[in-house]
């Protein structure tokens, strides 16, 4: 099974490298769209450019002279654009139309088929141009960490990647992580790749499809593949924090270290909390939790958690501190651990 694990890791790393290269090439390509949008800051500065996206409290804004810049939403007084946009409020309301300052100070007016609707600026949590290219809707973060302790002769290495695509009504959240530890005598590894597709249905609700592939030596797991679906909701969604939770059903197929295989029907319970502060230095806290109670194997429960604190030390470079782990009440063999966890540090770059 070592070849299978190595192949899975190589394929995952190659895919991430190709994705990063493609995005970098796309980002440096020429922009043919005329930049006629206007942003006026609260200090009076006026910037002409093109609205790319509002998300997580920052407006991504493309300019001819300064390239793409990120402006904190609460620092903006006015936004004017003749292009058609999809806008979402914190209560889940979705509006479509062009943007104007017709609502007065502290307001952003949307002019669409239903007329003009003026809403306080800080009520908006998402703005997306309807005809925007898909590469401009992706956020990608790549990171890695390395450690060595001479006294114990322990070497650790981790690599990770997070990407999020936001469309008009869909979100695709993909995460990859690989950890390797060697104590001088033996090396152990774990690798996990999961992707979640969320289809927004209005009023902060969504449907999801979740796919997972993972390997873990500590749990005597050579390979696990999972696929599930269900319903979820954004319970909190504003420019400083976000909390969403979901429930559903899934099927997993596992290949164990003792050459046995398992197929299970499981429940899916997931939650995610984000807290972000974009006043310099940027600080981002993300917590993810998953519980998977087995239906075909009564009493068995799997779990996973991932907590990451990221602090910017150079523009777009972050120092990451993470705690992540997994738990299984009934692992593949009696010799396997029921729990596996890691405390990691690393440096990441945000594209």
Give residue 305's pLDDT.
93
C-alpha 289, offset from chain centre? 14
Task: With beta carbons less than 8 A apart as the criterion, state whether 345 and 160 touch.
Answer: no
Which of 73, 105, 132 is the endpoint of a domain? 132
Short-list 39, 19, 37, 38, CA closest to 27? 19
Give pLDDT tens digits for 245-300: 999 999 999 998 888 888 999 999 999 999 887 666 678 899 999 999 999 988 89
Q: Are residues 332 and 231 in the same domain?
A: yes
Q: Are residues 214 and 76 in the same domain?
A: no
Q: 29 lies in a domain?
A: no
Q: 30 lies in a domain?
A: no
Distance, in Å, from the CA atom of 318 to the CA atom of 141, rounded to the nearest integer, reads 10
Task: With beta carbons less than 8 A apart as the criterion, state whether 311 and 319 touch.
Answer: yes
Write the DSSP string, 37-99.
EEEEETTS-EEEEEEEEEETTEEEEEETTTEEEEEEGGGEEEEEEEEEEEEEETTS-EEEEEE
Residue 341: both structure tokens together:
């966890």
Give pLDDT tens digits for 132-142: 666 667 888 99
Distance, in Å, from the CA atom of 184 to the CA atom of 192, rounded to the nearest integer, reads 24
Mean pLDDT, contiguous 10-residue spans, the chain (351 residues): 44 46 42 73 91 87 86 90 88 87 82 83 88 72 80 79 85 92 80 94 91 90 94 91 95 88 94 82 88 92 92 85 88 77 85 75
Q: Are residues 230 and 108 in the same domain?
A: no
Angle, vertex CA 155, rays to CA 150 and CA 156, nearest 5: 140
Q: Are residues 152 and 213 in the same domain?
A: yes
Task: With beta carbons less than 8 A apart as the criterion, state whether 42 and 79 touch.
Answer: no
Domain range for 230 is 2-23+136-350
Q: Are residues 178 and 239 in the same domain?
A: yes
């Amino acid at each position: 099974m070592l070849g299978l694990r190595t192949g899975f890791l190589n394929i995952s790393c190659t895919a991430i490298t190709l994705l990063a290269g493609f995005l970098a090439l796309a980002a440096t390509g020429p922009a043919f769209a005329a930049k006629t949008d206007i942003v006026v800051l609260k200090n009076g500065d006026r910037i002409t450019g093109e609205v790319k996206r509002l998300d997580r409290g920052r407006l991504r804004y493309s300019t001819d002279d300064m390239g793409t810049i990120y402006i904190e939403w609460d620092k903006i007084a006015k936004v004017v654009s003749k292009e058609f946009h999809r806008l979402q409020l914190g209560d889940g309301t979705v509006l479509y139309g062009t943007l104007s300052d017709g609502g007065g100070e502290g307001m952003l007016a949307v002019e669409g088929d239903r007329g003009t609707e003026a809403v306080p600026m800080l009520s908006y949590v998402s703005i997306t141009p309807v005809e925007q290219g898909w590469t401009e809707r992706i956020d990608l973060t790549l990171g890695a960490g390395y450690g060595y302790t001479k006294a114990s002769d322990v070497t650790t290495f981790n690599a990770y990647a997070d990407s999020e695509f936001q469309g008009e009504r869909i979100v695709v959240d993909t995460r990859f992580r690989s950890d390797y530890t060697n104590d001088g005598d033996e090396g152990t590894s774990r690798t996990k790749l999961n992707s979640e597709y969320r289809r927004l249905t209005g009023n902060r609700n969504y449907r999801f499809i979740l796919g997972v592939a993972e390997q873990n030596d500590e749990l005597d797991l050579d390979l696990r593949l999972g696929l599930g679906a269900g319903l979820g909701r954004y319970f909190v969604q504003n420019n400083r924090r976000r909390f969403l939770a979901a429930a559903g059903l899934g099927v997993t197929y596992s290949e164990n270290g003792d050459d046995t295989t398992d197929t299970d029907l499981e429940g899916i319970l997931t939650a995610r909390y984000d807290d972000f502060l974009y006043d310099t230095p940027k600080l981002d806290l993300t917590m993810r939790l998953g519980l998977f109670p087995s239906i075909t194997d009564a009493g068995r429960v799997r779990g996973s958690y991932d907590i990451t604190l990221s602090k910017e030390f150079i523009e777009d470079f972050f120092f990451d501190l993470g705690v992540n782990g997994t738990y299984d009440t009934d692992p593949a063999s009696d010799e396997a651990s029921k729990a596996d966890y890691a405390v990691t540090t690393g440096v990441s770059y945000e594209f």
